[in-house]
Structure 1
Amino acid sequence: MDDYDRLYEVYDRFDTEELRAYREFVDLFPPLSSPVALDRWDEATARLAERRSEIVAAFDDGERLAEIAARADRTTAFTALDLRGKYGRAVNALVLDVDETLRSAGDTDNEIPRETLHLLTEFVERGVPLVICTGQTLENVKGFLVQGLGNELVHSGDVSVVYEAGAGVFTPGHGADTKRLLYDDLPEDSRGVVDDVRSRVLRAAPESIRRGCHLQGNEFNVTLKPNHETGGPDAAAVIDEGVVHLLDLVGEAVADRVAVGEVETTAPPASEAAVRATHYDGDAADGEDDESLDDPAPGAAVARAFFADADPEVAGALAREGGAVAAAVPDAAADLLGRLDVALYYADAAELAVRALDKAQGVAAALDVLGIDDPFVAVVGDSKSDLRAMEWAADRDAGIAAAPAHASERVLEHVRATDELVFPPGEAATLLRTIWALNCLVDDEFEAAGADRRTREE
């Protein structure tokens, strides 16, 4: 009987749904001093052991099959079996975005669900480190990680934080490598552009941006966040305006460093794809009325044209704002602009970063600090910055990719083209259970760590 047949028999013969219910109750039951509550927990623990023992006794590798059935439903288990057949490897690090991935404002009140936090803790206890990969500031990330996972685990040496989408890496417990400032190694010209923009971004902003946005407290990247509810129409409008403001400041800073000269301007791009890229339902500026277009400085017009061509979401914002762009981008300016990244996150943020500092480079640095020389990671995220980490893993045959169903279309295209690991919003635990089952099927040490835990429970 092969693995497929054994798994089929487990889910066909045994009440695995009840087994998982007892497993979840024992894992997530809150600590209470009530004798009645403790009796209930003891009873559930005993029933869990009984249900497990039924599977263990029925198969030569019953311990492994019982562990899978206690965590994964039938669909999840067979997805893991397919992944084993394709890759033949266990995941040895989890690379996890936070906002709208581990937590979702629409479904989990912007908190990481207890089930997800518990599974992450279990992975670390079984030797699978966490790389938390986010655009947030380091202090924000440290705060909710300690709150959710506990100070001991965060400082165990098995948790690394890639913050500001790759500007730095923080891995407590690793001595001189605990904090790596990746932006320290940037060339002076690209770093200088970011420094110049940061110094002017609010001071030189129109009143609507000064009132409607705040500057996120980053170490390096420049990120405008809305003062309105994220995802709402007011936030969408001010972030559209904010990304155009960032483009203009970037262009002026670039023009201070390279020769731009006089440039001809033209109407902004207004393609259907550009407008659709930011989920906008209104009309884009069509450029037919020249009076509707502004008259940007040469450097600003060049930066607008460069990034509108590179990113349809930026192009969509320019189309809606009616901002004129350069008809052509000089080669000298294109070289420096190509090392920068201006990104629009719909109704959430407008950001300036440096392309050399992305989540992919941050993940590589984090894995180096963690001592993972032959990575096979699970990259889980929803945005274009997560896509770069997914592509980094795919190009090196170093992992798999997964995303929530509301992820950006480019992310979903990548995930669907690889293993179709798409999970419902707010339910990252579903994906974690798939990886759990995969590791049980492949990694004897992962399963052995589970046996040790069961011995302690008993």
Structure 2
Amino acid sequence: MERYDLLYRLYDEFDTKALRELQDFVDLFPPVDSRVALDHWQDASDELESRKDEIRAEFAYGGTFADIAARADREAAFTAQDLYAKYGRDVNALVLDVDETLRSAGGTDNEIPRDTLHAMTEFHEAGVPIVVCTGQTLENVKGFAIQGLGSELVHSGSLSIVYEAGTGVFTPGHGADTKQLLYEDLDEDVRGVFDAIRARVLPDAPEDLRRSVHLQGNEFNVTLKPNFDVGSPRAAEVIDAGLVYLMDLLAEAVEGVVGDAVAEDDPSTTALVRAYYADADPEVREVLESEGAVPDATVEQVPAELDSLLDRIDVAYYHADAAEVGSLELNKVVGVEAALDVLGVDDPFVLVMGDSKSDLRVMRWAAEGNRGIAAAPEHASEDVLDHVVSTDELVYDRGEAADVLRTAYVLNSLSKLS
């Protein structure tokens, strides 16, 4: 009997909803000292095993099918089977963004839901490495990881943290490879540009801007954050001004590298840098227009030497949240590859979960090399959703990352059937 037929039988003949409710209760039951509560948990555990035994007795791979029914609803199970039929592989690593992907301030008080944490722990116990891939600083994400996942998992040797969107990789338990500072591999010119910006960004800022922003504690990227609630009108105002200021600082820094490339009759380096990034990102152009800083130049006027340098430097804008200058040679893809190398994943087929443009790069890397599948929350950026819908349609509701993790868990279970 084919797997699809077996799944139809499983979900038609057994009360899988009751089974999942029992499994969730047993897995997520909070630790308590009450004897009555513990007795209730034991009764639920006994009933769960009894119901699983009924399934085990009816299928050749009864243990696997009982496990599937206890963790995934019909839709998730058939989605997993579709994925296996398409790719013929199981997921051998998780690549997970944190903010607005695993946790969502809009629906889960900015904490990772317990069912999501439990699903991640199950993958860990099954020997699947986890790569936490984030734009946050290392200290921030280390704190989250230890608090949410536990020190034992974090220091197990099978978890890696790609931080600051790829400037570094932290993989506890791997000796000299525990911390990799990927920005040290950049050439001297690019590092010099960032050193110059970092040294001046706050001291040289106009007083109103200096009082309204702070630097995020990055090791390499230069990121301005608002001293106001993220998303508020005042935050939007200062980040828009900060973006223009950062681009102008960048222009002065690159002029020290390629100054001779800009002829006297060319537009100013400031105008050329603004034109370059306005052409590259419509959001940046909108900010320049709103700030009265539209460049008196076109991207076609950017000299080749300056264009080549700017091709390596990213100017990122996050509305009412952050303005950043980073390296395009340091991104989440570079970080993920380095993390997987340390973790010993030689032939990756990963589940990538994310919501932003930096996550999209990893999703495309996975798709183009047949290296995995991608999933995103419903509130992800438009480009991310377009990619996810056009591949495997793994879009989930806000705060429900566990749904996709369960689907991947079932995919791995199905792949073990002969």
Same topology, TM > 0.5: yes
The aligned counterpart of 2:85 is: 85
Matches within 5 A, 1:376-387: 376-387=349-360
**SS at 1:242 equivalent:** helix
The aligned counterpart of 1:303 is: 273
Matches within 5 A, 1:173-322: 173-259=173-259, 260-262=262-264, 298-322=268-292
1:430 aligns with 2:400: no
Distance 2:120 2:140 in 1: 19
The aligned counterpart of 1:363 is: 336
- Deviations, residues 376-420 of structure 1 (Å, cap 9, x unaligned): 001110111111111111121101111111111111111111111
RMSD of aligned Cα (Å)? 1.3
Q: Is the 8 A contact 2:312 2:327 kept in 1?
A: yes
- Deviations, residues 191-246 of structure 1 (Å, cap 9, x unaligned): 11111111111112223321221100011111111222222222222211111111
- Deviations, residues 394-452 of structure 1 (Å, cap 9, x unaligned): 1211011111111111111111111111111111111111101111111369xxxxxxx
The aligned counterpart of 1:117 is: 117
Greater shift after overlay, 318-327 or 331-340? 318-327
Matches within 5 A, 1:102-113: 102-113=102-113
Shift of 1:54: 1.4
- Deviations, residues 333-380 of structure 1 (Å, cap 9, x unaligned): 111111000111122111111111000000000000000000000111
Q: Is the 8 A contact 2:360 2:384 kept in 1?
A: yes
1:28 aligns with 2:66: no
The aligned counterpart of 1:335 is: 308
**SS at 1:101 equivalent:** coil
1:406 aligns with 2:379: yes
Residue 73 of structure 1 aligns with an amino acid whose one-letter code is D
Matches within 5 A, 1:139-178: 139-178=139-178
1:354 aligns with 2:354: no
Greater shift after overlay, 315-324 or 85-94? 315-324
The count of corresponding residues between Structure 1 and Structure 2 is 413
Distance 2:305 2:276 in 1: 12
The aligned counterpart of 1:291 is: none
Residue 312 of structure 1 aligns with an amino acid whose one-letter code is P
Query: Structure 2: 5+ residue runs without aligned partners?
Result: none
Query: Structure 1: 5+ residue runs without aligned partners?
Result: 266-297, 446-458
Distance 2:406 2:234 in 1: 38
Distance 1:315 1:411 in 2: 21
1:374 aligns with 2:344: no
Distance 2:8 2:237 in 1: 52
Distance 1:234 1:315 in 2: 20
Matches within 5 A, 1:37-48: 37-48=37-48
Distance 2:65 2:374 in 1: 25
The aligned counterpart of 2:294 is: 324
**SS at 2:231 equivalent:** coil
**SS at 2:172 equivalent:** coil
- Deviations, residues 119-139 of structure 1 (Å, cap 9, x unaligned): 111110101110000000000
Identity %: 64
CA shift in 2, pair 1:397/1:340, >3 Å: same
Distance 1:324 1:369 in 2: 45
The aligned counterpart of 1:50 is: 50
Distance 1:173 1:444 in 2: 33
The aligned counterpart of 2:75 is: 75
Distance 1:194 1:96 in 2: 28
Q: TM-score under structure 2 normalisation?
A: 0.96
**SS at 1:256 equivalent:** helix
Distance 1:380 1:263 in 2: 48
Distance 1:339 1:40 in 2: 60
Distance 2:273 2:304 in 1: 12
2:367 to 383, 394, 398: 394
Q: TM-score under structure 1 normalisation?
A: 0.88
- Deviations, residues 312-342 of structure 1 (Å, cap 9, x unaligned): 2212211221213123212111111110001
The aligned counterpart of 1:270 is: none
1:440 aligns with 2:413: yes
Residue 381 of structure 1 aligns with an amino acid whose one-letter code is G
Distance 1:163 1:345 in 2: 18
Distance 1:54 1:263 in 2: 83
The aligned counterpart of 1:294 is: none
Distance 2:254 2:121 in 1: 46
Residue 40 of structure 2 aligns with an amino acid whose one-letter code is R
Q: Is the 8 A contact 2:61 2:417 kept in 1?
A: no
**SS at 2:217 equivalent:** coil
